Structure 1
Amino acid sequence: MDRLVPPDDTSALIAALCPAMQGSGPLARLMSEGALYCVFQPLADLREGAVFAHEALIRGPENTPFHTPGVLLAMARSEQMLADFELFCIFTALVQWGKSDQPGRLFVNTSANALVQITTRQREAGTFGDLLRAFGMLPRKLVLELTEHERADDLAQFRDAINAVHASGAMLALDDFGDGHSSLKLWAEVKPNFVKIDRYFIHAISEQGESLQMVQAIQRIADVFGTTLVAEGIETRDDLRVLRDLDIGYGQGFLLGRPGREPSMRIEAPALAVIQDRRVAVLPQLPHNARPDVLRSLSVIQAPCVGLTTTNNELAALLHQHPTLHAVAVVDKDRPVALINRQQFMNHYTVMYFREVHGKKPCIAYANHAPRLVELDYDVDELVGILTSQDQRYLSDGFIVTDNGRYVGLGTGDQLVRAVTEARIEAARHANPLTFLPGNIPISIHIERLLANGSEFVACYADLNNFKPFNDQYGYWRGDEMIRLMARLALAHCDARRDFVGHVGGDDFVILFQSNDWQRRCEAMVCEFAQQAQELFDETARQAGGIQAEDRHGVVRFFPCTTVSIGAVRIHRGQYRSAEEVANEAALAKHAAKQSQSGLFVREDAAGTADLTLQPGEALLKA
């Protein structure tokens, strides 16, 4: 038999375990009269689209001031019966669930102190498992959910209570993880089977990259502990789609099902439709900042330093021992205070009679007292500020590298330029600095997600026609405006929930459509770009329909006004194995679009059957 039926009369057992309910206060009377009851909210399996469990929530009489749990808890505190009230709620949930004859697990809220009480009050009469069976509950069907609003008064007793729950076969969960109460320490202490992610991180996760990254971080922690996650507060289809794609196992929220007197055996139809839909979510992007500690990967020169009292002769001897050293830092108690340029110092030192007159004097007299200091964890913007500052002495003197203000070594101007350049290139692979659209790495990741999910989509490659002569004629500032125009139109004509817009670089864009009306969107994009791009030409060019400019061979000829060509290829389930294959097909479609001069070209002969070949540099996902 898979379930236990509670006795017809469990009120005596509840009264014995909750003596405070015999009091004279309003809440005590509601408890003794049986006026409180539980409603049950479903928890859904986000992979299967089925109801996995239910959470029991206490309610007072309907249409009265006592209906909501917040009011009931306040009454319990005022009547000084909070512990007994919590136990009463737990036992009421067990009895109602036992009588409902429903399958699945039951989540029941409990504080740490209530957990201690429930596992100790009947210890003489048997184990915690025996107590659960007395209420008609199989221990393996129960999940005690630590609300964690209050810390346990006695940690030793709390640990004993946790052990008693585990020993019975019942499970534990942490509620509202991330709300400021729960902690990693508690997670490690309790070793819960489930952790509920607080609704703060779930609400609008489809729009907020910070929340997305937080949930992904919690996932990594859950992997370490072997814990199953439950996302709370799911209220929109877009949020549900993101959570499904993140492979969060279970969820709870009004979109999936509202609390009701009777347990619901099905999730709501709109939620089920999202779970069964193969289209993947377009995950929100965080602006990618190049890693802040860009200098840590460079070979900092482990150069010796000198002190405030080091003489000119001693410095000259040091430089003689290190012939490749371009400068020497002057350090006071591990803190750099000045920098001496080798060439400038030696120009003084080699002057006739310098050693005789100044050799034993402190060398700091020939130092730059305002050297450029660069912390190892400087971000790229701070480094760019150094490169563009009016003080360019770092080009010859180099700079002093510090870690938390302490001397580490020296760097050269060449190193600084290289560090900034490499960091900017890496950042551009994540987000294009001109349009802020996702770059090559996010594009590849999204294609891989689409392929892994078996989604059918359309990969489009957009490229501007006659952009180079326009850029040469009007300059880079107006050329940037043309590229930003394309970015704006691409975003405007795409569904942000279904369609992914990326900027490969230059005037190359990629759009991954899941919208069924993708062709209409592309055609509108082509038409509007042709109209709005003309505003970036001068009146003479608009009247002529183009400009006279040199081609790639230096020959002056006429170029029509800039337009856009979009090559599209339909990607069917199981047709391609990697993002690179999809990228190549999209690049071939773009090539055909530019040759056909039709605006939009749909490549029907995909999967390598076309005669077209890519020219060097035409692959979609450039390094």
Structure 2
Amino acid sequence: MREQRLQMHWQPLVDLTTRNVIGHEALVRTPEGCAWRNPDHLFAAARREGCAMALERACVQRATAEAGRAGLGLLFVNLSANAVAAWTEDPPRPPHGQHELPLAGVVVELTEHERVRDLDALREVLTRWRAAGAAVALDDFGDGHSSLRLWAELRPEYVKIDKYFVRDVHRSGDKTKTIRALQQLADTFGTQLIAEGIETVDELMVLRDLGLTLGQGYLLGRPQATPCTALPDPVQQALQSRQIWVLPQEQHVIHRGLTAAALLRTAPALPDHASHQDVLELFQRHHDLESVALLDAQQRPVGLIARHTFQEETLHNPYFRELYGRRPAIMHANTQPLCVEVHTPLERLTEVLTSPDQRYLREGFILTENGRYRGLGTSEQLVRRVTEARIEAARHANPLTALPGNVPITQHIERLLHNGQPFVACYADLNHFKVYNDQYGYWRGDGMIRLLARCLTSVCDPRLDFVGHVGGDDFVLLMQSHDWLARVERAVHTFNTEAALLYEASARQAGGIWAEDRHGVRRFHPLTTLSVGVVQVDPAHYVSAESVANAAALAKHHAKQGHVGIQVLSPTAEAPPHCGAGAGAAAAVAAAPVCQ
């Protein structure tokens, strides 16, 4: 520091929308031959010598001086939050005359903000620096436990998303979901987000398509002694592309947040010494009560009596009242009932549905809180809740193929329409599949559907082409690859070839199987093949995801009716605006080229 031998390197910050370098982050480097080979070693030595804050200040002074002379645009300088809070003198000043305000264009990037000791002092210093023209950024957001509080307290102009959330964002639906949540926070606080640590084109394109406008990372420019003024050509070309990247699917977990409390039904109970006559009278007063719990003095369940079991005993034994009326009912109770705490996650209860002890399905189960009786739950409620949750989950991801379901399909079509670039929508469906499924069973039928999923996904570019599973044997492809037709043709050929191998040898030799049709008439059914209806979508002619889906479904219908592999609906002038499944669309399909 005394010899002024600290060196500055500059890493660019890029506007992903305009593809311009808007500023640089100043990063200290040591001279060649220095005992401390990198900044980490340098700052570790400074901490041992008790001059870490002095080193931070020296770096800022040198960075502002050099940047002021070079005119680098925005200048991001790193300072620990505690170093800023302890900065009692005037703020650092670039060379006089560079700006009307001393710190105009300087962004103070707070590091190590998870260990702030004096928030009031930090806020006071930053207020003075902002008055001198500076802006504030939080570094590595998401890496410290107090980051969110500082965001709310300091209202920084910029927040840098920690590189953990950027790395492989194109493969992680959870990370895209986190970034969307950060965008909502940024809108609330009036903050610009900066994605740091961008190292691949896939990460860059997904971040761009998520709506992030500022980025930093080795892909855009490494720290170097000479400031970067333009992006590398591959990055320019990628950002100029109007194609949008397929976003990774978020994991949709069924039952998340649902507990056994959702099944709770308040029901009267009886003490463990209650008689059979007491149980009979309770059932007579409450006609909708299927079971009754028996409780000890501490309100803990010790038994469960089911109405149907109790009625069978009383109806089949004419002397039941005389023999048992005054005797304790617990002698005919299930003394090992299923007791479930109300805070138990619902997915734990799905085991009840497959339990070898089917009494739980007939009698229901007891719900407790801290071991004390709260009420009853029924198997009907449990089945309904689990079914509803699984149906909702299937709308997000098909359980058989794990491909995106209806909700993400719709969302991706909307993204493509909003982007304004033409794309191709394909609707794939199997011919004569029901007969195969009936003949060989659902297990082998599921295998054929999984084969279709593999054939479709294998021909698609995972960055540009989206594959969704509507349900059953219906699939949707949303393609931006320029060679989409060759890809679809390859999928049809591969499926038709491999699907034939799923039949018995005799059926393959005959070219099909004899079976009853849906009207009960026995006839010959050819081997299962694939038909694909294709729509070349001009977003100017479609206003909703539903209209695109309708047109693709109509093209698929014509492909199946015409017994062809691929039917293409071309974006002709005759295709009606806001195309749906109307007569105009049918005319356009009829005029389109057909691929066998």
Task: Please report the TM-score for the alignment, with normalisation by the length of structure 1.
Answer: 0.85
SS in 1 for 2:448: helix
Shift of residue 221, structure 1, vs aligned partner: 3.0
Go from structure 1 to structure 2 and tell me whether the alpha carbon gap of 1:576 and 1:327 turns closer, same or farther (over 3 Å shift): same
Go from structure 1 to structure 2 and tell me whether the alpha carbon gap of 1:375 and 1:574 turns closer, same or farther (over 3 Å shift): farther
Matched, 1:121 2:83: no
Q: Percent identity?
A: 50
Go from structure 1 to structure 2 and tell me whether the alpha carbon gap of 1:339 and 1:267 turns closer, same or farther (over 3 Å shift): farther
Q: Which amino acid aligns with 1:237?
A: V
Query: 583-592 or 414-423, which moves further after superposition?
Result: 414-423
Distance, in Å, in 2 between the alignment partners of 1:44 and 1:200 is: 19
Go from structure 1 to structure 2 and tell me whether the alpha carbon gap of 1:49 and 1:131 turns closer, same or farther (over 3 Å shift): closer
Alpha-carbon contact 1:398-1:413 (below 8 Å) kept: yes
Aligned position for 2:203: 239
Alpha-carbon contact 1:293-1:376 (below 8 Å) kept: no
Aligned position for 1:491: 457
Query: 562-571 or 183-192, which moves further after superposition?
Result: 183-192
Aligned position for 1:48: 18
Match of 1:339 among 304, 307, 310: 304
Aligned position for 2:477: 511
Match of 1:301 among 260, 265, 270: 265
Query: 315-324 or 284-293, which moves further after superposition?
Result: 315-324
Matched, 1:109 2:78: yes
Within 5 Å, give how 1:375-394 maps onto structure 2: 381-394=347-360
Aligned position for 2:543: 577
Distance, in Å, in 2 between the alignment partners of 1:173 and 1:413 is: 54
Q: Which amino acid aligns with 2:307?
A: R
Go from structure 1 to structure 2 and tell me whether the alpha carbon gap of 1:339 and 1:186 turns closer, same or farther (over 3 Å shift): farther
Query: 295-304 or 512-521, which moves further after superposition?
Result: 295-304
Aligned position for 2:510: 544
Distance, in Å, in 2 between the alignment partners of 1:446 and 1:405 is: 48
RMSD: 2.9
Distance, in Å, in 2 between the alignment partners of 1:362 and 1:180 is: 62
Distance, in Å, in 2 between the alignment partners of 1:179 and 1:428 is: 34
SS in 2 for 1:370: coil
Matched, 1:83 2:53: yes
Query: 83-92 or 181-190, which moves further after superposition?
Result: 181-190
Counting matched residue pairs gives 576
Alpha-carbon contact 1:292-1:377 (below 8 Å) kept: no
Go from structure 1 to structure 2 and tell me whether the alpha carbon gap of 1:536 and 1:48 turns closer, same or farther (over 3 Å shift): same
SS in 2 for 1:610: helix
Distance, in Å, in 2 between the alignment partners of 1:70 and 1:517 is: 49
Query: 397-406 or 187-196, which moves further after superposition?
Result: 397-406
Go from structure 1 to structure 2 and tell me whether the alpha carbon gap of 1:598 and 1:377 turns closer, same or farther (over 3 Å shift): farther
SS in 1 for 2:86: helix
Aligned position for 1:145: 109
Alpha-carbon contact 1:588-1:613 (below 8 Å) kept: no
Go from structure 1 to structure 2 and tell me whether the alpha carbon gap of 1:306 and 1:271 turns closer, same or farther (over 3 Å shift): farther
Go from structure 1 to structure 2 and tell me whether the alpha carbon gap of 1:461 and 1:536 turns closer, same or farther (over 3 Å shift): same
Q: Which amino acid aligns with 2:23?
A: A
Shift of residue 112, structure 1, vs aligned partner: 1.5
Q: Which amino acid aligns with 1:109?
A: N
SS in 2 for 1:192: coil
Q: Which amino acid aligns with 1:213?
A: K
Please list the CA deviations of residues 466-515 of structure 1 after superposition, one character each: whole Å capped at 9, or x if unmatched: 11111111111111111110001111111111110011111111111111
Go from structure 1 to structure 2 and tell me whether the alpha carbon gap of 1:374 and 1:438 turns closer, same or farther (over 3 Å shift): farther
Go from structure 1 to structure 2 and tell me whether the alpha carbon gap of 1:149 and 1:422 turns closer, same or farther (over 3 Å shift): closer
Distance, in Å, in 1 between the alignment partners of 2:232 and 2:335 is: 71
Query: 276-285 or 352-361, which moves further after superposition?
Result: 352-361
Alpha-carbon contact 2:260-2:345 (below 8 Å) kept: no
Aligned position for 2:66: 96
Aligned position for 1:3: none
Within 5 Å, give how 1:112-511 maps onto structure 2: 112-118=81-87, 120-122=88-90, 128=91, 131=93, 138-148=102-112, 151-180=115-144, 182-294=146-258, 300-308=264-272, 315-331=279-295, 333=298, 336-345=301-310, 363-374=329-340, 381-402=347-368, 407-511=373-477
Matched, 1:610 2:579: no
Go from structure 1 to structure 2 and tell me whether the alpha carbon gap of 1:581 and 1:92 turns closer, same or farther (over 3 Å shift): same
Distance, in Å, in 2 between the alignment partners of 1:146 and 1:404 is: 47
Alpha-carbon contact 1:296-1:377 (below 8 Å) kept: yes
Alpha-carbon contact 1:383-1:420 (below 8 Å) kept: no
Distance, in Å, in 1 between the alignment partners of 2:424 and 2:561 is: 20
Shift of residue 370, structure 1, vs aligned partner: 2.6
Distance, in Å, in 1 between the alignment partners of 2:65 and 2:299 is: 70
- The unaligned stretches of length 5 or more in structure 1 are 1-30, 123-127, 615-623
Match of 1:525 among 491, 494, 500: 491
Shift of residue 296, structure 1, vs aligned partner: 7.2
Aligned position for 1:8: none
Q: Which amino acid aligns with 2:76?
A: F
Within 5 Å, give how 1:28-39 maps onto structure 2: 31-39=1-9
SS in 2 for 1:574: helix
Distance, in Å, in 2 between the alignment partners of 1:135 and 1:358 is: 103
Please list the CA deviations of residues 508-567 of structure 1 after superposition, one character each: whole Å capped at 9, or x if unmatched: 111111111111101111111111111101111111121112222222222221111111
Please list the CA deviations of residues 378-397 of structure 1 after superposition, one character each: whole Å capped at 9, or x if unmatched: 66653432112211123331
Q: Which amino acid aligns with 2:83?
A: A
Go from structure 1 to structure 2 and tell me whether the alpha carbon gap of 1:296 and 1:413 turns closer, same or farther (over 3 Å shift): closer
Alpha-carbon contact 1:148-1:182 (below 8 Å) kept: no
Please list the CA deviations of residues 393-443 of structure 1 after superposition, one character each: whole Å capped at 9, or x if unmatched: 233312234567664432322222222222222111111111111111110
Q: Which amino acid aligns with 1:202?
A: V
Aligned position for 2:566: 600
Aligned position for 2:527: 561
Q: Which amino acid aligns with 1:610?
A: A
Go from structure 1 to structure 2 and tell me whether the alpha carbon gap of 1:73 and 1:406 turns closer, same or farther (over 3 Å shift): farther
Q: Which amino acid aligns with 2:551?
A: E
Shift of residue 178, structure 1, vs aligned partner: 1.6
SS in 2 for 1:285: coil
Shift of residue 151, structure 1, vs aligned partner: 1.9
Distance, in Å, in 2 between the alignment partners of 1:179 and 1:331 is: 50
Distance, in Å, in 2 between the alignment partners of 1:468 and 1:58 is: 68
Distance, in Å, in 2 between the alignment partners of 1:233 and 1:394 is: 54
Task: Please report the TM-score for the alignment, with normalisation by the length of structure 2.
Answer: 0.89
SS in 1 for 2:25: strand
Q: Which amino acid aligns with 2:81?
A: A
Q: Which amino acid aligns with 1:399?
A: F
Please list the CA deviations of residues 348-377 of structure 1 after superposition, one character each: whole Å capped at 9, or x if unmatched: 679788778866765444432332345556
Distance, in Å, in 1 between the alignment partners of 2:261 and 2:482 is: 46
Shift of residue 295, structure 1, vs aligned partner: 6.3
Aligned position for 1:7: none
Alpha-carbon contact 1:469-1:549 (below 8 Å) kept: yes
Alpha-carbon contact 1:458-1:568 (below 8 Å) kept: yes
Shift of residue 79, structure 1, vs aligned partner: 2.1
Query: 379-388 or 200-209, which moves further after superposition?
Result: 379-388
Go from structure 1 to structure 2 and tell me whether the alpha carbon gap of 1:593 and 1:352 turns closer, same or farther (over 3 Å shift): closer
